[in-house]
Amino acid sequence: MRTIDWVDGAVELIDQTALPARLTVLRIGTVEELVAAIQRLAVRGAPALGVAGALGVALAARHPDDVAATVRRLETARPTAVNLARGVRRAAARLPEGADAVLAEALAVRDEEIAASAAMAARGADLLAELCGARPRLLTHCNTGALAAVVGGTALGAVLELHRRDALGAVLASETRPLLQGARLTAWELGRAGVPYRVAVDGAGPFLMARGEVDGVVLGADRICANGDVINKIGTYAHALGARRAGIPFVVVAPESTVDPDTAGGEEVEIEDRGAEEVLPSSARPDGVDAVNPAFDVTPHELVTAIVTERRVIRLDRAERV
């Protein structure tokens, strides 16, 4: 089953806000609905956002009232993952050729992500086996499985490939506050695949690494900067610091569509702040209490062992360049 696809003239996607309680497919016929789905994280994860953006332009091309403004709303629905704006721009570049050309481009974005997932899984599994020893116990953060892509996934795709090879120890899924992409979505995917896993609260990761319970950290990215800085779900930086302190590999698996040579370093990236309500619902918040809720953080390149894409392995620990 694909997380997101074009079906009979509309976008269909799994509503990730309903998981793991319910597997529901939403059918989306307008860009307004799609923007709302992106903003409430019904569809999320960098590769899936790229496909959503491109398919959204295909929707806009069929109702060509003020397409430029519609495209802009899509492109800016969430600011941090480079895939969204990239998918939108790629499909929008075909607008002068008409709606069929836009759809063809959007489907190409989808198909490239599907192909990239399989290649990353194989390369990522090879590298994890090489760096983390036999049957490694791996910690992952957020959700980087099929739900974050179209099929397969990025970091979780590599973990699942190790499992298929009967070469995986176990997985620690970091819960990923505040929306629990780890505890809800990664846990759901690992459970369906029959992978042995436990969920850990975000703050436990570095301690469990220090106590010798983790052989490597593997996770995804929302943007990889030209200098190798990695932008990913809030909590990633703490795991990278923990991995460095414990002397274990910190591996990022992401498609080339997440590599952004136009962004020099992490300080240039707009980090989405999702507001106080997600952290402290107003019904349970004492008067006058506010919250800061950055959805992503920046892991400096010097803490990253390697980046794996569908085409290459970049060993930042050996001073290789993105």
Contacts with ligand MRU by CB under 6 A lie at: 41, 44-47, 81, 142, 144, 148-149, 153-154, 181, 219-222, 232-233, 295
Whole-number minimum distance, CB 116 to ligand MRU, in Å?
10
Residue 80 in contact with residue 270, Cβ under 8 Å?
Answer: yes
DSSP code of 258? Answer: G
Whole-number minimum distance, CB 145 to ligand MRU, in Å?
8
CB closer to ligand MRU, 44 vs 90 = 44
CB closer to ligand MRU, 95 vs 149 = 149
Whole-number minimum distance, CB 33 to ligand MRU, in Å?
18
- H or E segment to which residue 127 belongs: helix 99-132
- Backbone torsions φ then ψ of 190, nearest 5 degrees: -65, -40
Identify residue 75 by its one-letter amino acid code.
Answer: E
Whole-number minimum distance, CB 115 to ligand MRU, in Å?
15
CB closer to ligand MRU, 181 vs 263 = 181
Residue 115 in contact with residue 107, Cβ under 8 Å?
Answer: no
Q: Which of 301, 132, 319 is nearest to 232 (CA)?
A: 301
Position with the least CB separation from ligand MRU: 220
Number of residues that make up the chain: 322
Count the neighbouring beta carbons within 10 Å of the beta carbon of residue 263.
18
CB closer to ligand MRU, 47 vs 249 = 47
CB closer to ligand MRU, 189 vs 215 = 189
CB closer to ligand MRU, 58 vs 253 = 253
Residue 183 in contact with residue 209, Cβ under 8 Å?
Answer: no
Whole-number minimum distance, CB 155 to ligand MRU, in Å?
7
Residue 208 in contact with residue 246, Cβ under 8 Å?
Answer: no
Q: Which of 5, 202, 222, 260 is catalytic?
A: 222
Identify residue 105 by its one-letter amino acid code.
Answer: E
Q: For residues 161 and 284, give the distance between their C-alpha atoms in angstroms, rounded to a whole number.
A: 42
Residue 170 in contact with residue 200, Cβ under 8 Å?
Answer: no
Lookup: tokens for 115: 């192909």
Lookup: tokens for 32: 């307004």
| 273 given a catalytic annotation | no
166 φψ region: left (φ > 0), alpha (ψ -120 to 50), beta (else): left
Count the neighbouring beta carbons within 10 Å of the beta carbon of residue 270.
12
Whole-number minimum distance, CB 201 to ligand MRU, in Å?
17
Kindly list the catalytic residues: 222
